[in-house]
Structure 1
Amino acid sequence: MTDTRAHDPALGAVSIGIAAAAGPEVAARIAPAAQDAGFRALWVNDTPGHDALEVLAAAATVTKHLVLATGVVPVDRRPPASILRTVRDLGLPEDRLVLGIGSGALRRGALESVDDAARALRSATVAEVYVGALGPRMRALAARAAHGALLSWLTPEAAREQTEPLAAAGSRSALYVRTAWDADANDRLDDEAHRYAAIPSYAAHFGRLGITALDTVIRGGDAAAPRRVQRYRAAVDEVVLRAIVADDTPDAYLRSVHRAAEVVAG
């Protein structure tokens, strides 16, 4: 496989992302390939009915240095004590763990709850703590209370604007970029974009920036994909290539990792 480590050190790192719904089998299959290709981390979305930490535990057993990251655990349904208990019950290696947290369904008190959770986690574990940050107030919170901010649904230009204040504050940035490397996955990518665009908080996000969800993705068959990945890498500390595949099989996800490595190296 092409090694993604052969890159300009001035550019951001590259990682792979999947949803927890993909399951532990997929994580155990793709994590060694991602590690061998030089990707920094495997990020797993915590989704209702599926536990990102359990999925990461499967990846931990088959890797040695791949960073293991959640993106993001909502603190309205999983407070810090619960997160830490699960981490330790599963035996996750905290020295290579990133705990991405977010406000979940909270509307009132969201900033305070995330602030408290970030500080509690930082005081109790060596794992890094990132805050899922859609708006400017949550990004400012991430800069002061966490190690970094996890961003999403941005163009390269919007990503650069949002990360400059983070960098000035000494905080890191990671950005989810939805990617469908094969054209037969484009319908699922479009569905995901339309679904997020219909969520009020994300609709407001796109309205503020004057962009659409589809402006922020990489579609299968796009000849400009390598250049687009490079532009994202120039804007953030870490680009998380969130895999969208035509069918949720381990083989499909593994092909996606291989293709991502080729595009990044190319």
Structure 2
Amino acid sequence: MEIGVGLDQGLGLSWDQYRELGRFAADLGYQSIWTNAGNGRDATHICAQWSVATAEVVPGGIGTGISVLPIGYWSAPSLASCAATVGEISGGRFVLGVGSGSLHAPAFRHALGLPSNLRPVGTMREWLVTLRALLAGETVEHEGRALTLHGVQLGIKPPKVPVVLGALGPKMLALAGEASDGASLNWCTPEQVAASRAIVAEGARAAGRDPGEVTMTEYIRICVDDDVDAARRALVKALMGYALVWPGMDKALGYRGHFGRMGFDEALTELEERRARGASDDELIDAFPTELAQQVGYFGPASGAAAAFHRLAEGLDTAIVRVVAARPEPESITAVMEACRPAQPPSRP
């Protein structure tokens, strides 16, 4: 199993800190370093910076990746061009993760001027087919509901850039097996990882593919601090942003549906009802079930982090330590990285 580290853009790092922490990750023995993506700093550029910085520590640098980039902000050719560039810079050590983001939400489609008839699974199938073809150096002819490309190709053929799919529900997981290089999971219990792998494998076999060709990757949130309550509050705050649904949204979709399938619907419904009655975020954090948070992440002393991480990573091909900082200071970030450092030291140039 590959062990990577994930640095959320929400950590507010400077470019110097990105490079410094990249070198620190390589020095600790991490095999890859990952970022999330949105409509802010360009995640492909962050990965390129990491590739160059980590090459100062290990020959060629460690792997980099995006997990995941919501496709609504991009066109397929422009994203393929950026990914190909990082693939070249990294010498084939870059993984592009893409996902549907909030494509299921009418407000998201409206904000970006996307057609109202787009559906997440069909849209992602078109993106996977066209992105993988462009990155393989092919000339793409495609006319669909989400994308239309006629005779489009990249001006370069990079080293292989795996394209992995952010997947939670059964249909998206099956699509990952059918048409991507891997499935990128998030906020999973070990049981959910196993169930997801089975669905991905079934999708691969249905498409005539070897399930062993489709990797399984996941962010595993870790927050360490000697003040256990401070660590708990930071992890739960991060978790609530995914797990709770706002009024008017379908609880069966997106992350809320994901947590419901794992058996957490009753607890989350109670929290949503509290919020509707006027509970503050702090009150919700206090009321959030500790056992739920512990089933999908870790908070507490550094001494317990590695064991919890490996328990949650069971069944994965790449497990990513997604850093949750207990405090707004660099030491909170490096404490997580040190607590979960891989057993093997890096090679030296």
TM-score, normalised relative to structure 1: 0.85
Task: State yes or no: 1:51 paired with 2:42.
Answer: yes
Change (3 A) 1:225 1:250: closer
Counterpart of 2:313, as a letter, is: R
Distance in 1, matches of 2:185 and 2:295, equals 15
- Alpha-carbon offset, residue 82 of structure 1: 1.9
- Alpha-carbon offset, residue 133 of structure 1: 0.2
Task: State yes or no: 1:39 paired with 2:3.
Answer: no
- Alpha-carbon offset, residue 49 of structure 1: 2.1
Task: State the Cα deviation string for residues 193-240 of structure 1 (Å, max 9, x = none).
Answer: 122111342222111111445520111227543332222333211111
The residue aligned with 1:156 is 190
Distance in 1, matches of 2:186 and 2:338, equals 23
- Alpha-carbon offset, residue 88 of structure 1: 5.3
C-alpha contact 1:32 1:62 (8 A) present in aligned 2? yes
Distance in 1, matches of 2:318 and 2:39, equals 26
Distance in 2, matches of 1:83 and 1:160, equals 31
C-alpha contact 1:152 1:175 (8 A) present in aligned 2? yes
C-alpha contact 2:221 2:321 (8 A) present in aligned 1? yes
Report the secondary structure of 2:26's partner residue.
helix
C-alpha contact 2:97 2:165 (8 A) present in aligned 1? yes
Distance in 2, matches of 1:213 and 1:114, equals 30
Task: State yes or no: 1:198 paired with 2:274.
Answer: no
Counterpart of 1:203, as a letter, is: R
RMSD over equivalenced CA pairs, Å: 2.4
- Alpha-carbon offset, residue 185 of structure 1: 3.6
Change (3 A) 1:133 1:113: same
Task: State the Cα deviation string for residues 53-93 of structure 1 (Å, max 9, x = none).
Answer: 12212212112231110011111111321213334566643
Q: Of 105, 121, 124, which residue of structure 2 is paired with 1:114?
A: 124
C-alpha contact 1:134 1:205 (8 A) present in aligned 2? yes
The residue aligned with 1:93 is 90
Distance in 2, matches of 1:237 and 1:164, equals 14
C-alpha contact 1:26 1:253 (8 A) present in aligned 2? no
The residue aligned with 2:232 is 186
- Alpha-carbon offset, residue 248 of structure 1: 4.5
Q: State the identity as a percent.
A: 26
Counterpart of 1:180, as a letter, is: C
Distance in 1, matches of 2:134 and 2:235, equals 38
Distance in 1, matches of 2:302 and 2:334, equals 20
Change (3 A) 1:213 1:187: closer
The residue aligned with 2:144 is none
The residue aligned with 1:123 is 133
C-alpha contact 2:221 2:322 (8 A) present in aligned 1? yes
The residue aligned with 1:245 is 325
Distance in 2, matches of 1:30 and 1:72, equals 20
Structure 2: gaps (5+ residues): 55-59, 105-117, 136-159, 203-210, 246-250, 265-291, 345-349
The residue aligned with 2:138 is none
Report the more deviating stretch, 237-246 or 185-194.
185-194
C-alpha contact 1:56 1:69 (8 A) present in aligned 2? yes
The residue aligned with 1:141 is 175
Report the secondary structure of 1:71's partner residue.
strand
Report the secondary structure of 1:229's partner residue.
helix
Counterpart of 1:104, as a letter, is: G
- Alpha-carbon offset, residue 249 of structure 1: 4.3
**1 or 2 for the larger relative contact order (CA 8 Å, sep ≥6)?**
1
Change (3 A) 1:102 1:174: same
Report the more deviating stretch, 235-244 or 79-88.
79-88
Change (3 A) 1:86 1:251: farther
Report the secondary structure of 1:177's partner residue.
strand
Correspondence list, 1:67-82, <5 A: 67-82=63-78
CA radius of gyration, larger in: 2
Distance in 2, matches of 1:66 and 1:38, equals 9
TM-score, normalised relative to structure 2: 0.66
Report the secondary structure of 2:224's partner residue.
coil
